[in-house]
Structure 1
């Protein structure tokens, strides 16, 4: 009997609550029901707001529902609770459940417990999705069977019984997933750690500690890749138990990947240098993507050939919503960078091009300062189009910059994305670049950053 089979057999005697019915929980609930496990769905939506088709299907299969205002109370009558990453682990309701002896877990935590194959895990404030995708693409180019999941791809626990020990699992992990993780991947990479999600996390230290969980539970045979250039990430090196490798675009490292002065991405294995690909041959633009390649090269060194990396570099067009080219109209290029929900991501977009941009910004407030991007906006943006609840905060930060000159940057306030795209189109002339780089979360106007990016692309394609 496999570990997964034993787990599902033992769960038949449990009452299992699922908080929310998102994409990952939908498939997970179906799996648990197929195993004969008693399921309770806890959701703040009322019965009238709940998807009718899903309600009828699950109700017919014997699911108990706890919906509406007091939906969370039912978890105290359950043995196991699965939370979504968006349901903060340190909420008082979950703390009370843990004190009562109720198991509080998540799809990703349970997958790590049961996964039979080698695991690659990536986190970071910026770059983790592209890096995760690159690791996956490198391994696929080598002919490996890859399961991509976590914060990207699909839920992996529903397919855990189909995974063999010769496969590999590549997962992106957010701070909200990692905050409760007590098992780490075999190979871990941290791209960087910068202020983010401070509207949810108690403080910056809790955010750092969440990221630390990626490597804290590794064993002596594991491998860890850290940024040498990012001080907060570099300072985690003392927690590494297995092999420690670095990546750097600023200096050559003895054991890890680096960007050589001539622009070649290289790997040094105790001084023996392997050349991979020149930065100019990487299809996706920007120095931040060079860093993502360096991370992925260090994570897969020894498992992936140079030729596989070169093939991916020359053909991989990037991940949706990450400085994604949308279209060219009248000589103006439009880019969707909806993932840029923090100032550091905006800086990466500004650095990706050698000219001033027309930039659309604004959204919901994550409790982080916009001051770090203010100087760069003044130097590298000619029209700044602001919307959403943070519009005033961004404008205040820009005008407080010592680089601010109203003759060099025009600030325009708009009501919504449709008006933002129209204004950008109005001011753009041949040769210009227009980017959606919000510096904020999307929740004031959109359900997710993906919805924001798709709306932007729709509007641009309608011009």
Structure 2
């Protein structure tokens, strides 16, 4: 269906939007432009919404706000657009579905209406960097690209500008994928490790959400999978066309690492020498793997010269092992995006055998720290903990088989943790914020956490 056809169909119909946040505000504006009768539900009060309240009421949006904002979702809406953070099986949405409403999302509507090629990335770790690399490579190659999903901004507001020859590059979280019944033309799964178990019912539900990124592809679709991850390796048998990458072993068909070079092989023969990984500006083997995933996605769309140019120039994404400053011989890095033990593990390993001073801890996503305790003892010189998971991380570190009196400092305030790390650091040390946990106990999101860290470090004298 074209955008114009959908607008004609949607005019004067009643639709509900759950959540007036970053992802749904552009959706509401689009629906209003289509002539839809919109009811928007949000747990915030008019005072908390502020200017947004004035804007929406000014264009005729009916607002249901406050503690009981979901009570009347099922009343008359033909379509209910839920925000990614609300589960599909909350009683209000189940009731709406029983009354005949279609439960969907901004992303699903975008997929239905977007005329361009869609490339989407998901994974427990590395998806933002991989998505950014794909976007960068395609832009350098001359494509008109749109970056959105869980990164950038919602693209439904730009849907009328997007042309068939363009490319939409999307980062998709498990929350967004959970109910999707559409898949992109090219999908990437960087890896799957336990994450968001405070929201998903169990690890299997999380895995199933990730699989939705390729589950609805047709025979022309393609999915790029991490062969080194047991779960994503297992996805191969469920996809129409799966292409794998590995940094650990040679793949007869796919992308491998051979003598510091990313190569592509078919039938056991190396067909192309794509990239010398020593030319990659951003550090760490996990970033080599991000490049392999991105290369798989853009293969056939951009030349290897563009890939090499990107490797030399791409400086990374904020909050991902981001160098902040060097002071008194100590280097400070912001890796606030690391909201899982697996992500922090990758960050620690990027420094090789160099042991660092690690600031960790935060909101508890119910992810076990047992294996992480071993990693910390191998790669950390001193450990500074802050947040709700401090006790769990300390217990895992001390219970690890390789624990030998690692200095551990527990702090109640974030600023105190950063200052403690500085106090304990000596010339030549590395201090890194890489929490292994979400930020929600102390901060709105990981960006605020990372920016706060940078502000504190940059104020040091």
* TM superposition score category, shorter chain reference: over 0.9
Residue 198 of structure 2 corresponds to which residue in structure 1? 199
**Root mean square deviation of aligned Cα:** 1.2
d(CA) in 2 for partners of 1:383, 1:93: 48
Residue-by-residue CA offset, 1:124-162 (whole Å, 9 max, x unaligned): 111111111111111111111111111111111111111
Q: CA deviation at 1:13?
A: 2.7
Residue 147 of structure 1 corresponds to which residue in structure 2? 146
Residue 214 of structure 1 corresponds to which residue in structure 2? 213
d(CA) in 1 for partners of 2:156, 2:127: 21
**Is contact 1:267-1:298 (8 Å) kept?**
no
d(CA) in 2 for partners of 1:89, 1:335: 38
Residue-by-residue CA offset, 1:45-99 (whole Å, 9 max, x unaligned): 1223222x11112112111110111101231122221111111223232222222
Alignment of 1:287-298 (within 5 A): 287-298=285-296
> Secondary structure of 1:154's partner?
coil
Residue-by-residue CA offset, 1:291-340 (whole Å, 9 max, x unaligned): 00001111111111111011110111111111111111111111111111
> Secondary structure of 1:197's partner?
coil
Q: Which runs of 5+ in 2 are unaligned?
A: none
- 2:265 paired with 1:268: yes
Residue-by-residue CA offset, 1:252-304 (whole Å, 9 max, x unaligned): 222221111x1111122443421122112100000000000001111111111
- 2:123 paired with 1:124: yes
Residue-by-residue CA offset, 1:215-241 (whole Å, 9 max, x unaligned): 110000111111111111111111111
Alignment of 1:322-333 (within 5 A): 322-333=320-331
> Secondary structure of 1:326's partner?
strand
Residue 13 of structure 1 corresponds to which residue in structure 2? 12
> Secondary structure of 1:423's partner?
helix
> Secondary structure of 2:319's partner?
coil
Q: Aligned residue pairs: how many? A: 457
**Is contact 2:74-2:92 (8 Å) kept?**
no
**Is contact 2:357-2:383 (8 Å) kept?**
yes
Instruction: Select the residue among 408, 415, 419 that pairs with 1:418.
Output: 415
**Is contact 2:74-2:93 (8 Å) kept?**
no
Residue 374 of structure 1 corresponds to which residue in structure 2? 373
Instruction: Select the residue among 53, 61, 64 that pairs with 1:63.
Output: 61
**Is contact 2:191-2:231 (8 Å) kept?**
yes
**Is contact 2:12-2:35 (8 Å) kept?**
no
Q: CA deviation at 1:438?
A: 0.6
Residue 233 of structure 2 corresponds to which residue in structure 1? 234
- 2:103 paired with 1:107: no
Residue 256 of structure 2 corresponds to which residue in structure 1? 258
Instruction: Select the residue among 406, 424, 427 that pairs with 1:427.
Output: 424
Residue 393 of structure 2 corresponds to which residue in structure 1? 394
d(CA) in 1 for partners of 2:445, 2:37: 31
**Is contact 1:42-1:74 (8 Å) kept?**
no
Q: 18-27 or 332-341, which moves further after superposition?
A: 18-27
- 2:357 paired with 1:336: no
Residue-by-residue CA offset, 1:171-228 (whole Å, 9 max, x unaligned): 1111111111101011111111111111110111111110111111000011111111
**Is contact 1:286-1:353 (8 Å) kept?**
yes
d(CA) in 1 for partners of 2:257, 2:88: 38
**Is contact 2:224-2:245 (8 Å) kept?**
yes
User: In structure 2, do the counterparts of structure 1 residues 376 and 272 end up closer, same or farther at CA, with 3 Å as the change threshold?
Assistant: closer
Q: CA deviation at 1:380?
A: 1.3
d(CA) in 2 for partners of 1:36, 1:13: 6
Residue 44 of structure 1 corresponds to which residue in structure 2? 43
d(CA) in 1 for partners of 2:378, 2:65: 51
**Is contact 1:341-1:439 (8 Å) kept?**
yes
d(CA) in 1 for partners of 2:292, 2:238: 22
Residue 243 of structure 2 corresponds to which residue in structure 1? 245
> Secondary structure of 1:71's partner?
coil
Q: CA deviation at 1:29?
A: 1.4
**Is contact 1:16-1:37 (8 Å) kept?**
yes
- 2:40 paired with 1:32: no
d(CA) in 1 for partners of 2:98, 2:178: 18
Q: CA deviation at 1:33?
A: 1.6
d(CA) in 2 for partners of 1:186, 1:117: 10
d(CA) in 1 for partners of 2:27, 2:73: 17
**Is contact 2:262-2:276 (8 Å) kept?**
yes
d(CA) in 2 for partners of 1:403, 1:272: 41
d(CA) in 1 for partners of 2:72, 2:458: 47
Q: TM-score, normalised by structure 1?
A: 0.97
